[in-house]
Amino acid sequence: MGSGSWHMEKRHSFKNEPVKDVEHVLENGSLSIIVLGASGDLAKKKTFPALFNLFQQGFLQPNEVHIFGYARTKISDDELRNRIRGYLVRDKGASPKDLEDVTKFLQLIKYVSGSYDTEEGFRLLDKEISETEVLRNGVDGLSRRLFYLALPPSVYPSVCRMIRHCCMNKTDLGGWTRIVVEKPFGKDLESAEQLSTQIGELFEESQIYRIDHYLGKELVQNLLVLRFANRFFLPLWNRDNIENVQIVFREDFGTEGRGGYFDEYGIIRDIIQNHLLQVLCLVAMEKPISLKPEHIRDEKVKVLQSVLPIEDDEVVLGQYDGYRDDPTVPDHSNTPTFSTVVLRIHNERWEGVPFILKAGKALNSRKAEIRVQFKDVPGDIFKCKKQGRNEFVIRLQPSEAMYMKLTVKQPGLEMSTVQSELDLSYGQRYQGVTIPEAYERLILDTIRGDQQHFVRRDELKAAWEIFTPLLHRIDNGDLKPLPYKPGSRGPAEADALLEKAGYVQTHGYIWIPPTL
């Protein structure tokens, strides 16, 4: 290899080298964070508040970071700042320091207006970024540029093309350009692959961060530690001891004005194919050889590739009464607002163990949890089988907790048994500790160049391969959702499917979060 090609390869690898801490990220130049779709709901409610929290905690220093908003709306810097202000802190509960921090943070934000498919606006954006970089660095090209696409996927290709042609970091002196894209990544395998190809022609995989905010949740991030750092889970975590695994997402409200958007996707595309499937990977994967992002993502892909095709008789779809009353929803919509799907993993560890993914809107409670149900105790001398099985429950939201349901002796003179729990409730155990929002953690990971909690292209493809045949059958009307009453558990057929899959519901036991 000639010296010129060696030098090029060395520079190329340095450009995308992951950086381990924020101080190192920022020491050689400025960081520009560009929020595209800055006037939209996602940016106001999630992206800017996450950036503000990172700023408050000292991860984004005012002398090193500048934030740019870009959208079609023609507004001034101050108008954008005023739109964002109310989402950063609640004025009634805000301390004087919080309000001062808000003012300082908002001064970091500039706004550029332009379209998403013409060069004029992006040239102007590049000019604004470059001027800021020169002021901060004195040297053009040392900056880092992070583009956050808080936009519908339909405009990803044109926006990525404009960024590639107009807004890249100018040299390889140590800077980088990274792109964060939000879900949904396509609507099926074909559209996802098309989107991946279009973006992949413009950026390397190491520059693309496909964000799934569930991977930023505290209890989801705890899964690897729980599984691989605790001796007593290692021998239990397999088909010999586990009867079934449920991963559940429930909301107690309907589409609430988002009916038109939701109807395009449905509950499987919106929640199950991405969020719940990502959680399944972490529950089911083998131990990676290290904590390097690629080693972890390799194991997740292996799990997805081991999932068998979904059988129609292991799916229940539902649609709550009143869903089609929304004027933005078609009168004859076949879109499910509820689904229970049984997945089967064909490998040595999980053969025969059903993984039940369940999600729904307008149900009787709001929660997200993982429920690992163990097999019955053989030779049950206490006759306590009717009280229910041992379960390990990881509650992702609200009231983050982990608890183990187990059978104990009822206090008193009689030898009678009752179900209780060993409980780790975060609100009680970690008093005064603020659990970071998922978006804060993931944006910080992007700045650090850590892709562990982001979805790789082959992982995305494997996920769509599992669900695309089922989704096409629903889209074609071959599978119909069953009606259910708002505020219920969903269609009764879903509980029947759980029973058929081997899940035994515990009657009479209710987990109550401990109070302080």
Indicate which residues carry an active-site annotation: 275
Other CB atoms within a 10 A radius of the CB of residue 74 amount to 10
- CB of 151 within 8 A of CB of 40? yes
CA distances from 125 to 67, 120, 152, 168 (A): 11, 9, 20, 11
Alpha helices in 325-437 (DSSP H): 426-429
Q: Which of 440, 435, 439, 432 is nearest to 54 (CA)?
A: 440
Both structure tokens of 137: 């660095």
Torsion of CA 153, 156, 159, 162, to 10 degrees: -170
Which strand (E) or helix (H) includes residue 113? strand 109-113
Q: What is the rounded distance in angstroms from the CA atom of residue 454 to the CA atom of residue 208? A: 9
Rounded-to-10 torsion of CA 355, 361, 366, 367: 20
In 3D space, the residue among 240, 40, 51, 268 whose CA is nearest the CA of residue 149 turns out to be 40
For 472-481, b where at least 16 C-beta lie within 10 A, e where not — what string?
eebeeeebeb
Residue 505: phi, psi to the nearest 5? -75, 140
